[in-house]
Structure formats: C-alpha cells, structure tokens
Chain A
Amino acid sequence: MNLGPHADFIVAAYAATLFVIAALIAWVLLDYSAQRRILGDLEERGITRRAQRKVND
C-alpha cells in the first residue's frame, strides 16, 4: 500500500484516533472493575441500599 508523500499525516491521524479510543475503552473497563470491587466490599460489610432492603424485607 502506497500512502504517497503525505503518509506521515495519514498514519498520525489513525494513530491519534486509535490512542483516544483505546484510552476511552481502558477508562470504561477500569472504572467498571473499580465500581464492582467497591460495591462488593460494601455488600460484604453488610451495607445495603434502601431499595435492596425493601426487597429483602
């Protein structure tokens, strides 16, 4: 594949897009695991939400 005389600009555009999307995905996954871990810790200590208590009662 020949990208011509402006190959650097094309590669930089694709690399920048990949970087931003990869950073977004990493942030979403890390945030999800962090929230799940905190929720698990709180539930282990017997703390429940008001809505959850109504269900349990």
Chain B
Amino acid sequence: MKPARGITPWLFLAPGLVVFGFAVLLPMVLTIGYSFTDWNGFGAMTFVGLDNYARAASDAVFRGSFVHVVLYIAATLVLEVGVGLGLAGLVSMRPGRLWFRVAIFTPVMLPLVVVAVLWAFVYNPDFGLINGALAAVGLQGLQRIWLGDTATALLAVSFVSGWVFAGFYMMIFYAAFRQVPSEVVEAARLDGAGEWALFRRVKVPMIRGATGIAVLLCVTGGFQGFDLFFVLTNGGPYGATEIPTTLLVKTVFRNGEVGYGSAMAVVLTAVVVSLGLVYARLTAGGRSSAGRSR
C-alpha cells in the first residue's frame, strides 16, 4: 500500500462516493430528518419531535406488522434454511447430481414479481394447482381460498418464499459441506455411522459458520421482504399479511404521511442494522454480509 499522495486516491473514489452519497447516504439522512416532522409531501414541514415515534409505538397496525413479519421469518427459517440444509445434506451424500442442484436453484433466478403472479394462479381457488391436487386425491375438505383466508394467507406467502429461496440456501450449505475434510467423514463411516448420524453429528456441527450466515441472511432479508407480499396479498385479507414494508409504502405513497412513514422506516432500519451488528460482534471474524434480493 502506498501512503497518501495528494488527491490521487480521492479521484479514484469520487465516482462511487458521489453516486452512493447522492442516492443512498443523503436520502437516508433526509429520511431520518422527515421522521421528526408531520410533512405530507407538499405543504409546510413542521417539527414535531418524537411524536411520530410515539404514534408508531402505540399503533396497533404497525405493531401487528412486526408480529406478521416475525411469523413470516420463523416460517422461512424452516422452509428456506431448514429445507435448504436438508436438500444440501441429501445431494452431498454422493458426488454428482448437478442436474438436481441446477433445478432447485432455478426459482432464485426469476423476478419475484413473476414468481408471485405465477403462484397467485397456483393458489387460485377455481383452477389452481393446490386445490386441484387436493381434489385429485380426494381431499376436497382441505381446499381453501389460500390467499383470501386470514388463517392461511401468511403461511401461503411464506411457502412461496420457501419455494424460491430453499435452493439458494441449499447452494450455500452444499458449498460448506464440501469444505468438510473427507478424512473426518471417512473416519466416522469406519466407526459405523450411518448417513443420518453423519449428517446430524458430523457434517452439520462442522458448518456452523455457514449456518450463521444463512440465518442472518434469512432474518435480515425477511424484514425487507416486499415483492411477494405486495403482489400476492398486499397486506390482506383484513390486514393478516401486513408487514412493515407494505404498510410503510401505503402510509407514504397512498396516504401521503411522509413524516410518519419515515419514522416507520427508521424503526425498521434500526432493527435490521442492529441485527447485522450483533451478528458481526458475535462472529467478530470481520465477515460482512449483504442481503439477498427480495
């Protein structure tokens, strides 16, 4: 590394810093500023102190949106990370099986909006795949209006999320499993360990780092989920799938409550950033992480 020589390093930094500062840092500071006002996007901007935060704390809809997103995250920890781990265990039992990994990873590639429009059909009560499959095996009694029923809507959205991202976590775990030294696996085999014991007692404990990253990505990504919810239910039915991101888009861009919506955004940001920092502190290996696209 060379010591400073005038402005040379800053010339290299300038394009990136300018774009990043203009489109991310400046608006972030402004959003924090808005959150202390009652601004509606057009008229005068009056400073109201912490009023918006007090309102958020006592707003049942906002609090409910956090309950929903936490339930969604809990479901996706099983449906994305858990299933992904299981699939990775399955494919790492023997080498090869490239076709399988390619197949399961496919939905990760597709725009979530496209996935959501497709799954709205899969859940369609009249001709959808799910109700059709239930009828085909004689289980008409289990048919539901999956996305229109407050009891099933949140789980139905989580299931689509699982369908998309299980393949993503499978690839992360598959890569981690390949780092497990083969001598360790062979030694366990010689000791008479079956595939299940090998998976549970040897392989999974040895990839704790990857598991930590997967859980972090799933949790922080979950708080930022928007596309699937917006297209499939947009908060409905009766608010059963309202999450902070959909609620805050409605608050700001439909109701024009910029100040209040900004306070919601700051709360959400604080949650995501502190989770990231807690993880960084826990691992302290200097490993950083970014969200996956949601």
Query: Do they bind each other?
Result: no
Q: Which A residues contact B (CB, under 8 angstroms)? A: none
